[in-house]
Amino acid sequence: MITIFLLAIAGAIIAGVLGTFWYSPKTPMGKIHMKCVGFDKLSAEEQKKKMEEAKPTMWKKYLGQMILSFLTAFSVVFIVTLSVKNGLPLSMALIFVVANWLCFMVPIIGSGMLWSTNCDGKVAWQQFFSDIFLNLVTILLIAVLTSFFV
């Protein structure tokens, strides 16, 4: 059980690093995200001001995201570990992980985009695909990492 927790912590770190890179303003996905939140319409001074205003509470958002990432990673590690230990091939465990992504993560992200976004429809769809593929890449990396320790 300790291994599962340690791998889940490692998975949360992987998710944090990958998400930071994925949404970097220099990547296409980061540019889509900036459009969706309206950051692209601000002047350089306004952007800098917003970033300075956000800094004092940013640690709370990162902490919250790390907790959420830990829960996701724990689920992936648990599925892969138990599947492989019960004699299933890794490929089947990966199918379980992808099925969870498709049947749970994709609809939840889609619902969030449908009901809470204020951005243009085209940009919202781009954001949706960016978000779901980030999640897919993240959970597959966590699953592959887990397979090395099972």
Interval 13-60: pLDDT, tens: 999 999 999 999 889 998 888 888 788 888 888 888 888 888 899 999
As a whole-number percent, the residues of the chain with pLDDT over 70 amount to: 99
- Strand, helix or coil for residue 25: coil
Q: What is the pLDDT of residue 115?
A: 82
Are the C-beta atoms of 57 and 127 separated by less than 8 Å? Answer: no
pLDDT (tens digit per residue) in 95-113:
999 999 999 999 999 998 8
In the predicted model, what is the mean pLDDT of residues 117-138?
A: 88
Prediction pTM value: 0.88
Name the DSSP class of 41. Answer: G
In the predicted model, what is the mean pLDDT of residues 126-149?
A: 95
Taking the C-alpha atoms of residue 26 and residue 38, their distance in angstroms, rounded to an integer, is 16
User: What's the mean pLDDT when you consider all of the chain?
Assistant: 91
Residue 117 — pLDDT band, cuts 50, 70, 90?
A: low
Taking the C-alpha atoms of residue 148 and residue 14, their distance in angstroms, rounded to an integer, is 15
CA gyration radius, the chain: 17
